[in-house]
Amino acid sequence: MLANKMRPPLLRITMILGALHAVLGYLLLPALHLALPGFLLGGAVLLASTMLMPMTIFARAITQDTRLADRLSWAGSLCMGFFSSLFVLAVLRELLLLYPPVRLHQQASAIAVIGLALLATSVGFVNARRIARVKDVKVAIAGLPPALQGFTIVQLSDIHVGATIKRAWVEAMVARANSLNADAIAITGDVVDGSVAQLGAHVAPLGALRARHGVFLVTGNHEYYCGAAPWVAEFRRLGLTVLMNEHRVLGHDGAQLLMAGVTDYNAAHFDPAHGSDPQAAIAGAPAGLPRIVLAHQPRSAPALEAAGFDLQLSGHTHGGQFWPWNLFVPLQQPYVAGLHRRGRLQIYVSCGTGYWGPPKRLGAPAEITRITLVAAQDA
């Protein structure tokens, strides 16, 4: 039974989606010159998409049957991915129709829009569902001790274990990460999209991650949507080191490196005790060590620079995941993907290892990032 508090947002979202689908139908269906049965079928598909897309969020509130909820979420996610491309392409088609020669090909252009949307969704699906590639990144650190030359950190980010990313996928990701024999593994938030009760068995393979100095994790915004305190306890039970505005000093072949982590940028909105605090994360740290910090959102950078860190590892953006949403990420975050610098602080933003929402990636490939520290002169 759908909880009473869920009904208003579900209704609002469905009404908005209904209006957008109606616009899409208005833009495309007449141009296809369909007979009545085809027109009705097109309308039915649009109606089904309207009803299924909210299931990416509300499926578990609709039914307690986990398998049915996951199937509804899968269907809604696929509809969301297809609709996103179809709607954007339909709008672009309308703009092209302002050019007189294009108006002579209204039916062909409408068919092309549908074909391109199907192609984008299919290619994006394959890109999203395969295990992320390994991306090698060298980061030059001024004054890096010789013993830390070549120190490797494997970064996993935005895994989003949930309705469409399950245990088998996580096991394959863990195997690939372990094959890199890293000195440390960093998980920069948004591991889950559900509760410990729902997803504990699917997250369990993270406990098999292995690195010389251990596995370090910080919370992302999705942990707070799903109950951060139980998840922090579960991650620790699996043997992961959860850094809650704190640090560890790693001894490596006679040298030392600081590994710190802050809670999510917006954590205080969910739990005031979890407010992100870069100064607390570095408090009491020995002077003169290379200072690495894990922070889910790139926009933590100004505070982390002020605290005196050398390298920030972040995620959250998914690199935009697929066009055109990558164009909107800079409205919220100062960096979308890749390596950047702010004063002494360098910021690496992962495109993410999993995906959220539509199983779709275009132009922002998923990554398991192998970061290698080098002395500045060897960059």
From first to last of the 379 residues of the chain, give the pLDDT tens digit.
455 556 678 889 999 999 999 999 999 999 999 999 999 999 999 999 999 999 988 888 888 888 899 999 999 999 999 999 999 999 999 999 998 887 778 899 999 999 999 999 999 999 999 999 999 999 999 999 999 999 999 999 999 999 999 999 999 999 999 999 999 999 999 999 999 999 999 999 999 999 999 999 999 999 999 999 999 999 999 999 999 999 999 999 999 999 999 999 999 999 999 999 999 999 999 999 999 999 999 999 999 999 999 999 999 999 999 988 888 899 999 999 999 999 999 999 999 999 999 999 999 999 999 999 999 875 4
Q: Are 348 and 371 in contact (CB under 8 A)?
A: yes
Residue 316's identity, in one-letter code, is H
Alpha carbon distance 18, 13 (integer Å) = 8
Question: What pTM was estimated for this model as a whole?
Answer: 0.92
Instruction: Give the pLDDT confidence of 62-86 residue by residue, as tens digits.
Output: 888 888 999 999 999 999 999 999 9
* Other Cβ atoms closer than 10 A to 67: 8
For 345, residues 6+ apart whose C-beta sits below 8 A from its C-beta are: 301, 304, 305, 309, 310, 311, 312
The terminus-to-terminus CA distance of the chain in angstroms comes to: 58
For 198, residues 6+ apart whose C-beta sits below 8 A from its C-beta are: 60, 66
